[in-house]
């Protein structure tokens, strides 16, 4: 039997007057998946998330959460969603435990289970011992984010939507939040947005790249690499000229192109190669480049393009595709 | 949120100090120049002074404050309905407003306790005008607080909400009285206009209530306008979440 996707979005469009924030966005998220929403500022990430959580209505198109249409039954959809908005707004005058109990009541957690539910989310987010009775206004940014995530987890929602959960955090705090998200994998469907690429790459099973209101790419990091930056890449440090290396590779029948060349010291440079041949390229390259009189090979390493490069390639392609049309997408 | 925020208590302290002072001033005035009206009636006839600052202070934060810090968004993602949000904001502010007025019963009680011989006990704590005035405060409070809630729902700035509430209250309370004065001076208004102007006279309502004349028209006026304003506030947060 086919399972119902946790989130299904079809041709979703939202306009603010003459501005189109998102245009015909389509995607599906399966239960238990952690999906990253990636895009530059103003790409339409928050708008999509706000529509999914029922705060805002779409101009056209439909969205379903747990098989329920957001536009037709927003009340029911809200029972299935835990949402942490951008900047994580919290009331500064309340204590952590008071706030979470208040939120649990709003989320219709039954009275008998209320204390246990609040205690559970505080433990998951590591708030139970350290910040239980603290006033929210006095908490550090990292703890505030934890309170926001704890709130999103309350009521055991099927889908958790987090808009920029790690913004403004230091590396230790980011690591803490990442571990927390890892713990949610499998139990909840998680959508998180970020414009910090390593963040998404480490935490998410799948990435959706959005730019100027349109989805420009979607898939796992490996799939995106294959689509946007195909071929094998190697990074090597050589003492000698680029042309000597290129000639040597051509002579050995390797279809290689030098993508980047950085001068490290006098006569020594770092080259990024893209090789189109199949098979085990590492040994072939080492054999081809060693013991050559025109240059000396110092190091050779395979180079996996990171999400940053994929992102740049994907957004660049989308810019080129839309450059002909009238620019109309912001937000 | 209302009961944990400092402005609420500042409003309460200001209200009780001011009303205490005014009560004392009324009593002093009565000692110097004997008056026919009861101190209670005189005291409640200046209800508009605290209303002008307490109502904006109690309501300006309710929705505008939540909107400006962004907690309105998180509130809207819970399965709570918009109507429930507005009604609970209204109920919180209204009950606190009535609590403050109820505390003013302490003034005659204290006077009686401290100076049992100085004042005739019946005059200070006569039940009928007290009950009438409280009934007036309870019904007019519906309108005043809903004006505040509506003003708070249309903006994200607490300051704007406060000013809007103050101005609207001023127009509703003083404007009605001024229209009454104009009607009296001109004397050539058609009968329906006179009826409309009388219908909006808040001070007349207080007079009637404290004399024990309980009319259904003021009830209808306050309840219907308040219902309308709260309904509009619900629509506003629905559209402007």
Longest dimension (CA), chain A: 80
Can you list the alpha helix ranges (DSSP code H) found in chain B?
6-32, 39-45, 48-59, 64-69, 71-76, 82-103, 106-114, 121-124, 127-153, 158-170, 176-186, 191-199, 202-210, 216-239
Same domain as A218, residue A243? no
CATH number at residue A98: 3.40.50.300
**Dihedral angle sign, alpha carbons of residues A276, A277, A280, A281:** negative
Q: Which of B5, B74, B78 has its CB closest to that of A85?
A: B74
Confidence check: pLDDT of A131 > 90? no
How confident is the prediction for chain A on average, in pLDDT?
83
> pLDDT (tens digit, 9 = 90+) per residue, A249-289?
888 777 778 888 888 887 888 888 887 766 677 787 887 88
Measured N-to-C along each axis, helices B191-199 and B176-186 cross at an angle, to the nearest 10 degrees, of 150
Confidence check: pLDDT of B161 > 90? yes
Residues A81, B80: C-beta atoms closer than 8 Å: no
| Residue with more model confidence, A289 or B145 | B145
* Predicted pLDDT of residue B229: 95
* Predicted pLDDT of residue A269: 85
Same domain as A290, residue A155? no
Domain boundary among A167, A194, A226: A226
Domain count, chain A: 2
Place of tokens 């957001």: A70
Q: Give the β-pairing of A159-163 and A189-194.
A: parallel
Tell me, what's the ipTM? 0.78
pLDDT average, residue stretch B208-217: 77
* Predicted pLDDT of residue A194: 80
Whether the CB-CB separation of A162 and A35 falls below 8 Å is answered with: no
- A vs B: CB pairs below 8 A: 53
Least confidently predicted of A64-73, A76-85, A221-230: A221-230
Q: Is residue A309 part of a domain?
A: no
Same domain as A97, residue A40? yes
* Predicted pLDDT of residue B90: 95
Long-range contacts (CB closer than 8 Å, 24 or more residues apart) made by A249-257: A249/A273, A249/A285, A249/A288, A249/A289, A252/A284, A252/A288, A254/A281, A254/A284, A254/A285, A254/A288
* Predicted pLDDT of residue B122: 61
Q: Give the β-pairing of A60-65 and A159-163.
A: unpaired
Interface check A244 vs B, CB under 8 A: no
Same domain as A265, residue A129? no
Same domain as A174, residue A98? yes
Q: Comparing C-alpha atoms, which of A192, A96, A83, A194 is closest to residue A143? A: A96
Q: In terms of residue numbers, what domain contains A22?
A: 7-226
Q: Is residue A328 part of a domain?
A: no
Least confidently predicted of A5-19, A135-149, A267-281: A267-281
Domain boundary among A169, A203, A226: A226
Per-window interface: A 142-171 vs B, CB < 8 A: 151
Under the banding of pLDDT at 50, 70 and 90, the label for residue A318 is low
How far apart CA B161 and CA B183 sit, in angstroms, is 32
Domain count, chain B: 1
Same domain as A88, residue A150? yes
Interface check B83 vs A, CB under 8 A: no
Quote the Cα angle for A91-A93-A99, to 5°: 60
Residue B4: list chain A partners with CB under 8 A.
91, 93-94, 98
Q: Which of A75, A85, A151 has its CB closest to that of B70?
A: A85
Half-sphere exposure of B142 (CA within 13 A, CB side): 17
* Predicted pLDDT of residue A326: 47
Q: Is residue A11 part of a domain?
A: yes
Q: Comparing C-alpha atoms, which of A160, A15, A155, A4 is closest to residue A69? A: A4
Q: In terms of residue numbers, what domain contains B6?
A: 2-239
Interface check B33 vs A, CB under 8 A: no
Confidence check: pLDDT of B121 > 60? no
How many angstroms separate the CA of residue A74 from the nearest CA in chain B? 8
Same domain as A262, residue A179? no
Per-window interface: B 160-219 vs A, CB < 8 A: none
Question: What does residue A93 show for φ and ψ, rounded to 5 degrees?
Answer: -85, -10
How many angstroms separate the CA of residue A105 from the nearest CA in chain B? 10
What Rg value do the Cα atoms of chain B yield, rounded? 19
Same domain as A165, residue A274? no
Same domain as A66, residue A189? yes
Same domain as A179, residue A107? yes
Residues B77, A87: C-beta atoms closer than 8 Å: no
Using CB atoms within 10 Å of the CB of residue A258, give its burial: 0 to 12 exposed, 13 to 18 middle, 19+ buried: middle
Instruction: Enter the pTM of the model.
Output: 0.79
How far apart CA B34 and CA B24 sit, in angstroms, is 15
Same domain as A261, residue A221? no
């Amino acid at each position: 039997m086919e399972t119902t996707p946790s989130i299904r979005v079809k041709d979703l469009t939202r306009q603010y007057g003459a501005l189109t924030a998102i245009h015909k966005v389509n995607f599906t998220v399966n239960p238990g998946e952690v999906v990253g929403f990636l895009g530059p500022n103003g790409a339409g990430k928050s708008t999509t998330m706000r529509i999914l959580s029922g705060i805002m209505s779409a101009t056209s198109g439909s969205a379903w959460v747990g098989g329920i249409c957001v536009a037709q039954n927003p009340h029911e959809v809200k029972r299935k969603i835990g949402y942490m908005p951008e900047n994580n707004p919290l009331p500064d005058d309340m204590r952590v435990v008071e706030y979470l109990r208040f939120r649990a009541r709003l989320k219709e957690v039954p009275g008998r289970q209320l204390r246990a539910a609040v205690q559970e989310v505080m433990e998951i987010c590591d708030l139970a011992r350290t910040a239980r009775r603290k006033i929210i206004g006095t908490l550090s940014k990292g703890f505030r984010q934890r309170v926001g995530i704890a709130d999103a987890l309350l009521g055991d929602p099927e889908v958790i939507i987090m808009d920029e959960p790690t913004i403004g955090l230091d590396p230790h705090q980011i690591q803490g939040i990442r571990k927390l998200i890892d713990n949610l994998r499998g139990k909840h469907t998680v959508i998180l947005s970020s414009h910090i690429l390593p963040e998404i790459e480490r935490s998410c099973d799948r990435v959706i790249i959005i730019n100027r209101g349109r989805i420009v790419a979607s898939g796992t990091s490996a799939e995106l690499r294959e689509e946007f930056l195909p071929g094998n890449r190697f990074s090597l440090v050589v003492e000698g000229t680029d042309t000597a290396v290129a000639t040597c590779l051509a002579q050995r029948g390797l279809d290689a192109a030098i993508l980047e060349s950085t001068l490290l010291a006098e006569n020594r440079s770092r080259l990024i190669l893209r090789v189109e041949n199949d098979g085990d390229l590492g040994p072939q390259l080492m054999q081809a480049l060693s013991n050559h009189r025109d240059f000396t090979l110092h190091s050779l390493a395979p180079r996996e393009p990171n999400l940053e490069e994929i992102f740049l390639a994907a957004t660049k392609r989308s810019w080129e595709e839309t450059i002909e049309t009238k620019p109309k997408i912001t937000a | 949120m209302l009961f944990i925020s400092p402005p609420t208590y500042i409003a309460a302290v200001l209200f009780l100090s001011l009303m205490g002072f005014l009560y004392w001033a009324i009593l002093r005035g009565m000692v110097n120049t004997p008056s026919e009206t009861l101190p209670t009636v005189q005291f409640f006839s200046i209800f508009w002074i605290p209303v002008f600052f307490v109502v904006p202070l109690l309501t300006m934060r309710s929705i505008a404050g939540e909107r400006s810090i962004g907690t309105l968004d998180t509130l809207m993602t819970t399965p709570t309905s918009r109507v429930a949000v507005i009604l609970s904001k209204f109920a919180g502010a209204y009950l606190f407003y009535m609590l403050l007025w109820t505390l003013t019963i302490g003034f005659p009680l204290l006077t009686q306790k401290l100076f049992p011989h100085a004042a005739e006990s019946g005059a200070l704590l006569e039940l009928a005008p007290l009950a009438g005035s409280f009934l007036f405060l309870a019904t007019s409070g519906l309108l005043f607080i809903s004006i505040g809630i509506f003003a708070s729902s249309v903006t994200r700035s607490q300051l704007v909400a406060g000013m809007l509430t103050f101005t609207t209250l001023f127009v509703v309370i003083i404007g009605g009285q001024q229209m009454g004065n104009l009607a009296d001076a001109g004397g050539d208004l058609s009968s329906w206009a006179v009826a409309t102007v009388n219908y909006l006279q808040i001070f007349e309502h207080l007079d009637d209530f404290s004399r024990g004349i309980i009319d259904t028209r003021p009830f209808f006026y306050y309840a219907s306008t308040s219902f309308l304003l709260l309904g509009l506030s619900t629509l506003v947060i629905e559209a402007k979440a």
